[in-house]
């Protein structure tokens, strides 16, 4: 099954994320990664979803059925910049540190904490590069690892500014934040 | 208006502003402030006290399905709210505009497992079009307006508003100057013009075209446009279970119901047709049978207001997202003059002739009920339907609500549905037993001057018959119930007989004396055991100025045919027990 990267704009309302996740679960879609956070426009979040599906059009249409979903784009075949971040707590006795540090510099990873026998390494990159890095450091002994979901942005002038879809605060009338 | 109101008063005012006149519900702790306020509005907002929240929900559905207006039901927190879950799910499957209002525990104890606290917004997330938890009184005018807007526009559906008790009790000066903030909700009503022209091109070049008319025709009020369009092109029209009423069945172009218990000639026509034009039906699996084998020779045009329905179950060649009525109007505008349709018309009449030949050969309504097997039954169910159909068509002015099971399929098959949209109301998508009696209550309130028949099995009747008391308390005299009493959960028994070696596991069913039960409720109760008494009982029901129940003790083990076994192609129908 093909993997698709979907970017969606969501109106910020309570429960919106559980609506998206619930939909994915009950329709039986396989998600590989999901990341969500504020967009450039107040009241709108931007979500990146990596989903495995033979019928991605159905996934997009089902997402649109959610009232809060403003815009959904399948950017799989668009030129995008994709990033993911990981933090790895590595077994790092003093003898191994030198090697680890040089490995990090090759990958552009940063060491953000050093303990007596451990290091926390932060690494941001394309999902493939993050994957490679993890494999390279794995032999030292990974004590803990955390990965964020993938985020993707379409290159150049294309893409969607959230403010296109949201009307500015209306004529002084109460449009409750619904929080 | 600058007077401060309580949240509960604001709820009443908001409902009145949206044109709500009647609500079905049951009070309880968390929703009591709403009932307190309702007292002052009782001349404008009628509250119907039901006997079970499920009944309240189905009654609201019946009201909505019969009128096209929003149906409103009310429950308290916890069990009151969870009892509404079934009708909400039913409304979701059948695209019924329903507003469920539930009370919630006070916001200060929310999330603490307070008495009768249930996360009803969490529970109903997958079965509502949208839902809300309101904790702040100031949000109420906005939320009610948005909720009803969402429930009634686009593809209609159920919306739930859960309101904490304190939000109903607090006061505020309501702001009714509301502009909806719904950037993600913009239903498409007008069909794409290019696709519409494409559809016409396909239809005009067709030799064996068919129209499937679904629930969308009824909901959009597109029955006149549908009929005109079919007549202009002379295309045969199939009506799905929820499309019944889209075209009168005695119309020369109407050919009947497709699918699992549809007619042989209809399913065969689908398998033969070269262009299939589905307006407002969603290619449910009960219609398509095994989807990959459905309409193998057809180019498919699909009109639906919900884009996600298009291409979901079957491949579609010409997708048109829009309102059935507006799309049909656009189609009619773009039709070429009759002179250019001459060739289509010739093909069409050959095609129609072929379909009618198949209809004559395989058992249509008429032959079916004359099956030899029924000759020595004292009351074959078919005799009940024949008499009902004859009487209803002679009298007019009726609505029929059916429950779920064999009696439901017989009603769809055997009654001649000639009286327009919203005269046949049933639980289709969810197949909810227990729907009919409470839904009939809602329909009877909407149309007090019409006769509302609930046709229900002995199984489904025993799920929600307590609403008979509600019908009495509300003084409704126009409800008549026909129990098709076969002493079985009949449809399940049929599957057991045909496909499971007659292992009647959990299907033989007893019950009280239904006529006596009816009498106990203050209804007239009649019992019919022989075919020759059917007509007199139906006439007596009509002649009685009050609710009447007839217990039709029909032959117990009769099957609904024709039938497409589950997951089989609709081309492979079985017509009798020996073919199973
Ligand atoms: C609430 C609910 N429970 C179970 C079913 C499964 N079911 C479908 S038809 C049927 C039998 C209905 O029996 P009855 O109401 O007597 O109608 P009949 O088929 O005998 O006409 C059952 C149990 C259902 N549809 N709804
Ligand atoms: Mg039964």
Same domain, B492 and B383: yes
- Please say whether the dihedral angle defined by the alpha carbons of residues B95, B97, B102 and B107, taken in this order, is positive or negative: positive
Residue B566 lies in a domain: no
Residue B368 has a pLDDT of 61
* CATH classification number, A3-78, choose in 1.20.1250.20, 3.40.980.10, 3.30.70.260, 3.40.50.300: 3.30.70.260
pLDDT band at residue A171 using 50, 70 and 90 as cut-offs: very low
Residue A163 has a pLDDT of 85
Identify which ligand lies nearest to the alpha carbon of B489.
1
Minimal CA–CA distance to B73: which of B152, B20, B149, B9?
A: B20
d(CA A59, CA A8): 12
User: How far is residue B42 CA from its own chain's centroid?
Assistant: 29
In this model, does residue B289 exceed pLDDT 90? yes
State in Å, rounded, how far the first CA of chain B is from the last one. Answer: 69
Check pocket membership of B76 for ligand 1, CB cut-off 6 A. no
**3-class SS of residue B566:** coil
Same domain, B111 and B57: yes
DSSP string computed for B383-426: HHHHHHHHHHHHH--EEEEE-SSHHHHHHHHHS---S-TTSEEE
More confident call, B396 vs B369: B396
Tokens of B257: 């119901």
Distance from CA of A148 to the nearest CA of B (A): 26
Residue B551 has a pLDDT of 99
In this model, does residue B365 exceed pLDDT 80? no
Residues 49-78 of A with CB under 8 A from B: 57-58, 61-62, 64-71
Lowest mean pLDDT across A161-170, B142-151, B235-244:
A161-170
Equal fold, A3-78 vs A81-151: yes
Task: Give the pairing of strands B299-304 and B318-321.
Answer: parallel
Q: Token match 């092109």: residue?
A: B233
Residue B425 has a pLDDT of 98
The CATH number of residue B64's host domain is 3.40.50.970
Tell me which DSSP letter residue B254 carries. E
- For B225-298, strand residue ranges (E) read 237-239, 254-256, 275-279
Average pLDDT, chain B: 96
Ligand 1 atom closest to B410 (CA): 21
pLDDT band at residue B314 using 50, 70 and 90 as cut-offs: very high
- Measure the CA angle with vertex A126, ends A120 and A131; round to 5°: 60
pLDDT band at residue B376 using 50, 70 and 90 as cut-offs: confident
B266-294: b or e for each residue (b if 16 or more CB lie within 10 Å)?
bbbbbbbbbbbbbbbbbbbebbbbbbeeb
Residue B571 lies in a domain: no
d(CA A123, CA B240): 58
> Does A81-151 carry CATH code 3.30.70.1150?
yes
Residue B439 has a pLDDT of 99
d(CA B562, CA B578): 12
Residue B534 lies in a domain: yes
CA distances to A76, A85, B364, B564 from A146, rounded to whole Å, are: 25, 8, 66, 53
**Of B105, B138, B172, which residue sits at a domain end?**
B172
Residue B72 has a pLDDT of 99
Q: Cβ-count burial of B86 within 10 angstroms (0-12 exposed, 13-18 middle, 19+ buried)?
A: buried
Tokens of B102: 């539930």
Same domain, B518 and B452: yes
pLDDT tens track for B207-262: 999 999 999 999 999 999 999 999 999 999 999 999 999 999 999 999 999 999 99
Tokens of B212: 């499937």
**3-class SS of residue B577:** helix
Same domain, B417 and B297: no
Q: Ligand 2 centre and the CA of B477: distance in Å?
A: 26
Task: Give the pairing of strands B209-213 and B237-239.
Answer: parallel
d(CA B516, CA B523): 9
CA distances to A23, B205, B242, B357, B566 from B286, rounded to whole Å, are: 24, 29, 12, 25, 8
Residue B178 lies in a domain: no
pLDDT tens track for B152-187: 999 999 999 999 999 999 999 999 999 999 999 999
> In whole angstroms, how large is the CA radius of gyration of chain A?
20
Residue B575 lies in a domain: no
Minimal CA–CA distance to B406: which of B288, B495, B467, B466?
A: B495
Residue B478 lies in a domain: yes
pLDDT tens track for B84-104: 999 999 999 999 999 999 999
pLDDT tens track for B6-27: 999 999 999 999 999 999 999 9
Lowest mean pLDDT across B282-291, B302-311, B333-342:
B333-342
Q: Which of B491, B506, B511, B551 to mutate to test the pocket of ligand 1 (most atoms within 8 A of CB)?
A: B491
d(CA B200, CA B186): 27
Which ipTM value was assigned to this complex?
A: 0.92
Contact partners, residue B203, CB within 8 Å, separation at least 6: B209, B233, B235, B275, B277, B301, B344
CA distances to A147, B43, B125 from B1, rounded to whole Å, are: 54, 21, 35
Same domain, B355 and B396: no
pLDDT band at residue B367 using 50, 70 and 90 as cut-offs: low
Residue B352 lies in a domain: yes
Same domain, B311 and B343: yes
Q: pTM for this one? A: 0.96
pLDDT band at residue B362 using 50, 70 and 90 as cut-offs: confident
**3-class SS of residue B138:** helix
In this model, does residue A170 exceed pLDDT 60? no
> How many contacts (CB atoms, under 8 Å) link A and B?
70
Q: Is B426:B478 a contact under the CB 8 Å cutoff?
A: no
Summarize the confidence of residues B308-328 as an average pLDDT: 97
Same domain, B201 and B220: yes
pLDDT band at residue A166 using 50, 70 and 90 as cut-offs: confident
Same domain, B425 and B545: yes
d(CA B191, CA B202): 16
The percent of residues above 90 in pLDDT, for chain B, comes to 94
Asked if A2 has any chain B CB less than 8 Å from its own CB, the reply is no
Summarize the confidence of residues B294-312 as an average pLDDT: 97
pLDDT tens track for B188-201: 999 999 999 999 99
Q: Is A75:A115 a contact under the CB 8 Å cutoff?
A: no
In this model, does residue B369 exceed pLDDT 90? no
Same domain, B134 and B216: no
Minimal CA–CA distance to B511: which of B559, B461, B476, B468?
A: B461
Summarize the confidence of residues B132-147 as an average pLDDT: 98
Go through chain A and tell me how many residues it has: 179
Question: Would you kindly state where each structural domain of chain A is located, as residue ranges?
Answer: 3-78, 81-151
Region of A139 on the Ramachandran plot (φ > 0 left; ψ -120 to 50 alpha; else beta): alpha
Asked if A18 has any chain B CB less than 8 Å from its own CB, the reply is yes
Residue ranges making up the domain that contains B139:
5-172
Check pocket membership of B486 for ligand 1, CB cut-off 6 A. yes
Q: Is B54:B83 a contact under the CB 8 Å cutoff?
A: yes
- Measure the CA angle with vertex B246, ends B409 and B286; round to 5°: 40
Distance from CA of A165 to the nearest CA of B (A): 6
Residue A174 has a pLDDT of 37
Q: Which chain B positions have a beta carbon within 8 Å of A160's beta carbon? A: none
pLDDT band at residue B531 using 50, 70 and 90 as cut-offs: very high
Residue A159 has a pLDDT of 79
For chain B, how many structural domains are there in total?
3
């Amino acid at each position: 099954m093909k993997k698709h990267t979907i970017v969606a704009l969501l109106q910020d309302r309570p429960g919106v994320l559980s609506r998206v996740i619930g939909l994915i679960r009950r329709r039986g879609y396989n998600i590989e990664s999901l990341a969500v956070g504020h967009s450039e426009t107040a009241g709108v979040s931007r979500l990146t979803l990596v989903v495995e599906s033979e019928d991605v059009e159905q996934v997009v249409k089902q997402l649109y059925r959610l009232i809060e979903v403003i815009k959904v784009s399948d950017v799989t075949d668009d030129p995008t910049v994709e990033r993911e971040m990981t933090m790895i707590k590595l077994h790092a006795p003093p003898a191994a540190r030198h090697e680890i540090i040089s490995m990090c510099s090759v990958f552009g990873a940063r060491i953000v904490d050093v303990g007596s026998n451990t290091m926390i390494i932060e690494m941001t990159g394309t999902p493939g590069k993050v994957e490679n890095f993890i494999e390279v450091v794995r032999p030292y002994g990974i004590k803990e690892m955390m990965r964020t979901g993938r985020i993707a942005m379409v290159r150049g002038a294309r893409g969607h500014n959230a403010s296109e879809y949201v009307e500015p605060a209306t004529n002084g009338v109460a449009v409750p934040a619904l929080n | 208006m600058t007077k401060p109101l309580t949240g509960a008063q604001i709820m009443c005012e908001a409902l009145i502003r949206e044109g709500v006149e009647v609500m079905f519900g049951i009070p309880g702790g968390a929703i009591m402030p709403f009932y307190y306020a309702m007292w002052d509005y009782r001349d404008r907002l009628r509250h119907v006290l039901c006997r079970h929240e499920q009944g309240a929900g189905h009654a609201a559905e019946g009201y909505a399905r019969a009128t096209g207006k929003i149906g409103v039901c009310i429950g308290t927190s916890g069990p009151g709210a969870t009892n509404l879950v079934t009708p909400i799910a039913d409304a979701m499957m059948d695209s019924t505009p329903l507003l469920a209002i539930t009370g919630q525990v006070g916001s200060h104890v929310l999330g603490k497992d307070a008495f009768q606290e249930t996360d009803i917004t969490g529970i109903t997330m997958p079965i509502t079009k949208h839902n809300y938890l309101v904790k702040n009184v100031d949000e109420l005018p906005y939320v009610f307006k948005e909720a009803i807007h969402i429930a009634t526009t686009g593809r209609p559906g159920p919306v739930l508003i859960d309101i904490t008790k304190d939000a109903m009790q607090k006061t505020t000066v309501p702001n009714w100057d509301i502009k909806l903030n719904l950037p993600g909700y913009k239903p498409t009503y007008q069909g794409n013009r290019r696709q519409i022209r494409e559809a016409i091109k396909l239809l005009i070049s067709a030799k064996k075209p068919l129209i499937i008319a679904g629930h969308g025709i009824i909901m959009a009020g597109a029955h006149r446009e549908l009929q005109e369009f079919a007549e202009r092109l002379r295309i045969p029209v199939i009506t799905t279970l929820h499309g019944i009423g889209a075209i009168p069945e005695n119309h020369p172009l109407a050919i009947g119901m497709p699918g699992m218990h549809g007619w042989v000639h209809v399913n065969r026509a689908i398998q033969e047709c070269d262009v299939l034009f589905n307006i407002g039906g969603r290619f449910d699996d009960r219609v398509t049978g095994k989807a990959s084998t459905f309409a193998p020779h057809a180019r498919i045009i699909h009109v639906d207001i919900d884009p996600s329905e298009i291409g979901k179950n079957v491949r579609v060649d010409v997708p048109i997202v829009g309102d059935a009525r507006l799309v049909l109007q656009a189609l009619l505008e773009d039709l070429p003059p009759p002179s250019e349709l001459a060739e289509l018309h010739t093909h069409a009449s050959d095609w129609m002739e072929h379909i009618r030949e198949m209809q004559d050969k395989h058992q249509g309504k008429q032959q079916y009920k004359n099956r030899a097997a029924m000759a020595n039954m004292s009351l074959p169910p078919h005799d009940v339907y024949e008499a009902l159909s004859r009487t209803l068509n002679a009298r007019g002015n009726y609505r029929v609500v059916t429950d779920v099971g064999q009696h439901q399929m017989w009603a769809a098959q055997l009654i001649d549905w000639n009286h327009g949209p919203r005269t046949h109301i049933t639980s289709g998508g969810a197949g909810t037993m227990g729907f009919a009696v409470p839904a009939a209550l809602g329909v009877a309130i909407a149309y007090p001057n019409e006769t509302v028949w609930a046709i229900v099995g002995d199984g489904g009747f025993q799920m929600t018959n307590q609403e008979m008391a509600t019908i009495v308390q509300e003084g409704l005299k126009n409800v008549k119930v026909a129990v098709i009493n076969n002493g079985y959960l009949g449809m399940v028994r049929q599957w057991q007989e045909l496909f499971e070696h007659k292992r009647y596991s959990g299907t033989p069913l007893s019950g009280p004396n239904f006529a006596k039960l009816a009498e106990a409720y203050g209804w007239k109760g009649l019992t019919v055991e022989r075919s020759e008494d059917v007509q007199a009982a139906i006439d007596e029901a009509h002649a009685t100025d009050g609710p009447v129940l007839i217990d039709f003790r029909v032959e117990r083990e009769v099957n609904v045919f024709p039938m497409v076994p589950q997951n089989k192609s609709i081309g492979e129908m079985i017509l009798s027990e020996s073919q199973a």
